[in-house]
């Protein structure tokens, strides 16, 4: 069953009267594969579910079933999620809210689904079965996928270990290396702006008696090389610094850090008679497929990858584990010895194949995707900054453009989100048990609580369209102006009062 060609044909037909999303952005950048780009743009149109007018096959789903994504359950009035999805079509012409949350997850590319289908139906062999054809065909597909993933990051396929996602790869890298060296090397370095799963793995190691240094970042979100150097100890076993930050898109200087570990890190360990350099781990969940990655040029020893951030299926990821010189780590999952003994358990060929196809496409279309995403990000940012006053751009402006983080001062991001029910975005506040906490990443940049709470993250991806960006801009401009009109704080700012000088009572 092949879905993509059918979608492409339908989408091409729909484009005749609809204009091609992506084509205008591709014209503003130099990408040589014009023909490929045009056919990709056709496919992209189909998968813009929030733009039904542009959809090849607009489907009129009954209101009762829409919120449940096709389930036949009635919409529950007290179910906030259902309510939002239920109201979205009334708030705009969209059938589904516009999705601008590409760091959270990405929609699966139809070409990925095509590749997966046979392994969910008649090619169901266990890839570890060595005695018959069903096993062999699954194994061969798994190995092909491994090659695609390796190619995306400049690795050897034997260095790719499949896991359930970047969370597992991060746990495996930090705990695995620290546990392997145990008493001999008791120090770990990471940064304050890592993903929770790195920070929590580090905390767990601290509970076990390891020392952890959490490096601060500069106001633009970048770590200082001098800080990394100063933190190195002879007994540092692993340094974990992410490639692209998931909240602000900042790109850390991996190649320089890799070099520092090979020189200063190795020298410190040698002087103390502790052998090899510290292992360099990077969480590249938001980087692979988005920016150029080469594990050798960057001197990386371990790298975490996630399929669902690159238009592949959820529930699968990988850990790159260097073979020469060999990285030593203790597995966190034991069993049948699959995946070089580092991650036991039967692989899920359909997920592996989907991840492999997503990686192949990301590698093949990276330049096109980057150009598309950066053109849309510039369009969004320029318009919002031109038409709204008092907007802060959070994070290094040279970061990954598909992750744009802006603070709309004197407005709560959460109130903004409530007024933007037909747009899916993330705010700079995280729900803890009872309260809204400002994002620890934004706080690490030095933002105060108010500016952190007033931030929104715009996650632009392969299937985002110009029309969606324009709709979002118009809506945000309108809502920000309206909320500020109602805000006594904004009135005081207009009167020239410095809010920091006010003593609030109560
Ligand atoms: C930087 C980063 N690391 C790790 C993860 C976790 O990835 P996964 O969902 O594959 O476990 C995410 C996803 O939110 C992420 O953005």
> What are 385-417's pLDDT values in tens digits?
999 999 999 999 999 999 999 999 999 888 899
Task: For residues 279-289, give the mean pLDDT.
Answer: 98
pLDDT at 73: 36
Whether pLDDT at 55 is above 60: no
- Do the Cβ atoms of 208 and 181 come closer than 8 Å? no
- Three-class SS state of 427: strand
pLDDT at 496: 87
pLDDT at 31: 40
d(CA 170, ligand 1 centre) in Å: 9
Q: Does residue 493 or residue 242 have the better pLDDT?
A: 242
Can you read off the two tokens belonging to residue 4? 């993509």
pLDDT above 70 covers what percent of the chain? 80
Active site residue 390: no
d(CA 138, ligand 1 centre) in Å: 27
Q: Which residues does residue 407 pair with via DSSP β-bridges, in sequence order?
A: 392, 455
* Per-residue pLDDT reduced to its tens digit, 126-154: 999 999 999 999 999 999 999 999 999 99
pLDDT at 158: 98
Which is nearest to 311 in space by CA: 382, 275, 361, 370? 361
* Structure letter (DSSP) for residue 101: B
* Per-residue pLDDT reduced to its tens digit, 176-189: 999 999 999 999 99
* CB-CB neighbours of 129 under 10 Å: 14
In sequence order, the 6+-apart residues with CB closer than 8 A to the CB of 435 are none
* Structure letter (DSSP) for residue 333: B
Mutate which of 286, 290, 312 to test ligand 1's pocket (most atoms within 8 Å of Cβ)?
286
From the candidates 197, 390, 424, 431, which is the catalytic residue?
431
Whether pLDDT at 33 is above 50: no
Can you read off the two tokens belonging to residue 468? 């969606």
- Residue 275 and residue 266: Cα distance in Å, rounded? 8
Which is nearest to 309 in space by CA: 259, 362, 370? 362
- Do the Cβ atoms of 195 and 305 come closer than 8 Å? no
- Residue 493 and residue 410: Cα distance in Å, rounded? 9
- Do the Cβ atoms of 385 and 195 come closer than 8 Å? no
d(CA 162, ligand 1 centre) in Å: 15
pLDDT at 68: 31
Q: Which residues does residue 427 pair with via DSSP β-bridges, in sequence order?
A: 456
Tell me the average pLDDT of the chain.
85
Mutate which of 191, 201, 246 to test ligand 1's pocket (most atoms within 8 Å of Cβ)?
246
Helix ranges, 432-506 (H):
440-444, 449-453, 466-485, 488-494
d(CA 90, ligand 1 centre) in Å: 33
pTM: 0.84
Cis peptide leading into residue 325 (ω within 30°): yes
- Three-class SS state of 247: coil
Helix ranges, 266-346 (H):
266-271
Which is nearest to 211 in space by CA: 263, 131, 278? 278
Domains and CATH numbers, the chain: 96-107+363-495 (3.90.1150.10), 114-346 (3.40.640.10)
322: phi then psi, degrees, rounded to nearest 5: -60, 140
Binding-site residues, ligand 1, Cβ < 6 A: 103, 165-167, 195, 197, 242, 246, 283, 285-286, 306, 317
């Amino acid at each position: 069953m092949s879905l993509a060609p059918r979608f492409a044909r339908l989408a091409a037909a729909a484009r005749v009267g609809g204009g091609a999303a992506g084509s205008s952005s591709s014209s503003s950048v130099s990408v040589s594969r014009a023909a490929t780009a045009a056919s990709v743009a056709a496919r992209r149109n189909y998968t813009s579910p929030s733009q039904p007018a542009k959809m090849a096959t607009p489907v009129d789903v009954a209101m009762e079933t829409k919120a449940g994504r096709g389930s036949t359950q009635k919409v529950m009035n007290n179910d906030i999620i259902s309510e939002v999805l239920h109201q979205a079509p009334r708030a705009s012409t969209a059938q589904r809210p516009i999705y601008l949350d590409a760091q959270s997850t990405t929609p699966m590319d139809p070409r990925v689904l095509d590749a997966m289908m046979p392994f969910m139906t008649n090619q169901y062999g266990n890839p570890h079965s060595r005695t018959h054809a069903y096993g062999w065909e699954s194994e061969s597909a798994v190995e092909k996928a491994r090659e695609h993933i390796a190619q995306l990051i400049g690795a050897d396929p034997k260095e790719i270990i499949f896991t359930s996602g970047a969370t597992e790869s991060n746990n495996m890298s930090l705990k695995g290396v620290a546990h392997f060296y145990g008493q001999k090397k008791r120090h770990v370095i990471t940064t304050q702006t890592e993903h929770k799963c790195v920070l929590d793995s580090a905390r767990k190691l601290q509970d076990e008696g390891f020392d952890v240094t959490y490096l601060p970042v500069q106001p633009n979100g970048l770590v200082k090389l001098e800080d990394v150097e100063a933190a190195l100890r002879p007994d540092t076993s692993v340094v974990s610094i992410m490639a692209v930050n998931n909240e602000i898109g900042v790109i850390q200087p991996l190649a320089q850090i890799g070099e520092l570990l090979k020189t200063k890190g190795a020298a410190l360990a040698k002087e103390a008679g502790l052998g090899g350099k510290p292992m360099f781990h990077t969480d590249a969940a938001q980087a692979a497929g988005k920016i150029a990655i080469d594990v050798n040029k960057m001197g990386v020893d371990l790298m975490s990858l996630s399929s669902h951030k690159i238009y592949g299926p959820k529930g699968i990821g990988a850990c790159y584990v260097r073979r020469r010189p060999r990285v030593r780590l203790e597995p966190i999952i034991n069993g049948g010895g699959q995946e070089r003994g580092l991650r036991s358990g039967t692989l899920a060929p359909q997920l592996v194949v989907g991840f492999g196809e997503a990686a192949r496409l990301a590698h093949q279309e990276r330049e096109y995707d980057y150009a598309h995403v950066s053109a849309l990000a510039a369009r969004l940012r320029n318009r919002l900054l031109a038409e709204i006053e008092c907007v802060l751009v959070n994070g290094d402006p040279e970061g990954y453009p598909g992750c744009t983080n802006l603070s709309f001062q004197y407005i709560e991001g959460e109130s903004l989100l409530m007024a933007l029910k037909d747009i899916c975005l993330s705010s700079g506040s995280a729900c803890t048990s009872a309260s809204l906490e400002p994002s620890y990443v934004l706080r690490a940049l030095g933002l105060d609580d108010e500016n952190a709470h007033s931030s929104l993250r715009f996650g632009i991806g392969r299937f985002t369209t110009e029309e969606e960006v324009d709709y979002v801009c118009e809506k945000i401009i309108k809502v920000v102006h309206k909320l500020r009109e109602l805000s006594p704080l904004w009135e005081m700012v207009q009167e020239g009062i410095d809010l920091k000088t006010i003593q609030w009572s109560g």
